[in-house]
C-alpha cells in the first residue's frame, strides 16, 4: 500500500508546488492574471510594470521560499535520523540562536553595516554547529545521539542569553533584529540567492546519497558498524550538512522555525521510513509548506503582511506539543 501511495504522491506534490508557486507569482498588493504572468515568462510583450513586479520582486521571493523549505526540511530529516530523536530540528541544536547572536553583534557594534548581516548569520549558524560538535567530542560522546542534542540545547540557551543581554545594552538594535528573527521573504533579490541555492541543492543531493547508510544507522550503531558503516564519520558529516543548509537559509530568510520538525513527520506518514524516499519527499513538502506560508502571509491580512516565520510558528508550536503528548502516551 505504501509503495502504491509513493508512486502517485510525488506527481501530486509537484503539481501542488507548481500551483502554489504560480499563485505566489500572481497574488500580492498588485494582482497579476495568469495570462500576464505567462506572457512575461515567455517574453511576449507583457506590461513593463508587470514584468518588473514579476522578475524583480515575486520570482526571487518564491524561489527563496522553495529553497528555504527544501533546505530546512532536508536538514530536519538529517538531524532526526542521526540523533534518533523525532523532536530534533535545526533550532534545537542552536543553529538559529548562533545566527541570531551574530546578527545582533553586527547590529549593535556596526549598525551601518547591513551588507554584513548575511555573512554574519552564516558564520554564527555554522560556527554554532562546530561548537556543539566540539563539546560533544570533548565529553567523549561522539557516538552518543543524546549528547549532540543536549550540547545543542545548552549552547542554544547560552547564545539566546547573549542576545537578550545585547538587547538590553543596545535597545535601538531590536527593531532590525525583530525583522530578522521573525523570518520573512520580503526584500529578497535575485543576486542574494545563487550561492545559498548552490549549497542547499548540493546539500539535499548529498543527503539523498547518504540515505542507504542512514537507513543502516537507524538500525542501531552496533549493527550499522558490523554492516560497514563508519558511524562516527557519518554522524559528523550529516550534522555538518544540516548546519550548512540551515546557515544558508538564515542568510536570506532569517530565523524560520518548525519546518525541519513538521515536514519529516508529514513525510513519514505519507511514505513510511525509507530515507531514500523521504529525502526527496521532504524537499518537495518543505518547499510547498514555506511557499504556502509566505502566500498566506501576503494575502490573508492584506494590505498588511505577516512574516512567514510567524505563521510557521503558529502552526509548529501546537504540532510540537502534540508530539510531546503522543510520545508520553506511547511510553505510559
Higher pLDDT, 42 or 154: 154
Instruction: Tell me what pLDDT residue 91 has.
Output: 79
Confidence check: pLDDT of 142 > 60? no
Instruction: Tell me what pLDDT residue 45 has.
Output: 65
Confidence check: pLDDT of 145 > 70? no
Confidence check: pLDDT of 143 > 50? no
Confidence check: pLDDT of 331 > 60? no
Segment among 128-142, 290-304, 307-321 with least mean pLDDT: 128-142
pLDDT tens digits, 67-76: 999 999 999 9
pLDDT tens digits, 122-132: 999 889 988 98
pLDDT tens digits, 20-55: 999 999 988 788 888 888 888 877 766 788 888 888
Instruction: Tell me what pLDDT residue 17 has.
Output: 96
pLDDT tens digits, 83-95: 888 878 887 788 8
- pLDDT bracket for residue 328 (50, 70, 90): low
Map the chain to HEC letters: CHHHHHHHHHHHHHHHHHHHHHHHHHCCCCCCCHHHHHHHHHCCCCCHHHHHHHHHHHHHHHHHHHHHHHHHHHHHHHHHHHHCCCCCCHHHHCHHHHHHHHHHHHHHHCCCCHHHHHHHHHHHHHHHHHHHHHHHHHCCCCCCHHHHHHHHHHHHHHHHHHHHHHHHHCHHHHHHHHHHHHCCCCCCCHHHCHHHHHHHHHHHHHHHHCHHHHHHHCCCHHHHHHCCCCHHHHHHHHHHHHHHHHHHHHHHHCCCCCHHHHHHHHHHHHHCCCHHHHHHHHHHHHHHHHHHHHHHHHHCCCCCCCCHHHHHHHHHHHHHHHHHHHHHHHHC
Q: Which range scores top for mean pLDDT: 124-133, 281-290, 316-325?
A: 281-290
- Arithmetic mean of pLDDT, 303-328: 81
Confidence check: pLDDT of 7 > 80? no
Confidence check: pLDDT of 60 > 90? yes
pTM score of the predicted model: 0.91
Amino acid at each position: 500500500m505504501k509503495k502504491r501511495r509513493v508512486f502517485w504522491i510525488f506527481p501530486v506534490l509537484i503539481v501542488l508546488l507548481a500551483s502554489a508557486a504560480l499563485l505566489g507569482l500572481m497574488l500580492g498588493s498588485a494582482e497579476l492574471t495568469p495570462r500576464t504572468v505567462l506572457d512575461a515568462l515567455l517574453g511576449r510583450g507583457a506590461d513593463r510594470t508587470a514584468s518588473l513586479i514579476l522578475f524583480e520582486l515575486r520570482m526571487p521571493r518564491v524561489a527563496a521560499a522553495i529553497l528555504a523549505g527544501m533546505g530546512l526540511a532536508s536538514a530536519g530529516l538529517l538531524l532526526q535520523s542521526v540523533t534518533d530523536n523525532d523532536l530534533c530540528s535545526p533550532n534545537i541544536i542552536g543553529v538559529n540562536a548562533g545566527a541570531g547572536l551574530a546578527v545582533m553583534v553586527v547590529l549593535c557594534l556596526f549598525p551601518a553595516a547591513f551588507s554584513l548581516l548575511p555573512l554574519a548569520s552564516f558564520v554564527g549558524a555554522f560556527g554554532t554547529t562546530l561548537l556543539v560538535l566540539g563539546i560533544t567530542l570533548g565529553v567523549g560522546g561522539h557516538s552518543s545521539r543524546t549528547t549532540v542534542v543536549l550540547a545543542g540545547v545548552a549552547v542554544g540557551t547560552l547564545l539566546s542569553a547573549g542576545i537578550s543581554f545585547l538587547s538590553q545594552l543596545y535597545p535601538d538594535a531590536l527593531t532590525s533584529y525583530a525583522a530578522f528573527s521573525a523570518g520573512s521573504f520580503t526584500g529578497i533579490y535575485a543576486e542574494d540567492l545563487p550561492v545559498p541555492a548552490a549549497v542547499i541543492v548540493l546539500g539535499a543531493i548529498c543527503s539523498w546519497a547518504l540515505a542507504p547508510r542512514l537507513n543502516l544507522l537507524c538500525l542501531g550503531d552496533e549493527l550499522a558498524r558490523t554492516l560497514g558503516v563508519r558511524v562516527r564519520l557519518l554522524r559528523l558529516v550529516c550534522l555538518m550538512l544540516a548546519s550548512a543548509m540551515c546557515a544558508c537559509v538564515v542568510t536570506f530568510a532569517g530565523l524560520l522555525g518548525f519546518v525541519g520538525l513538521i515536514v519529516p513527520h508529514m513525510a513519514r506518514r505519507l511514505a513510511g521510513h525509507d530515507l531514500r524516499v523521504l529525502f526527496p519527499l521532504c524537499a518537495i513538502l518543505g518547499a510547498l509548506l514555506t511557499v504556502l506560508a509566505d502566500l498566506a502571509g501576503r494575502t490573508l491580512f492584506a494590505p498588511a503582511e505577516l512574516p512567514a516565520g510567524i505563521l510557521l510558528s503558529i502552526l509548529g508550536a501546537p504540532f510540537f506539543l502534540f508530539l510531546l503528548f503522543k510520545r508520553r502516551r506511547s511510553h505510559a
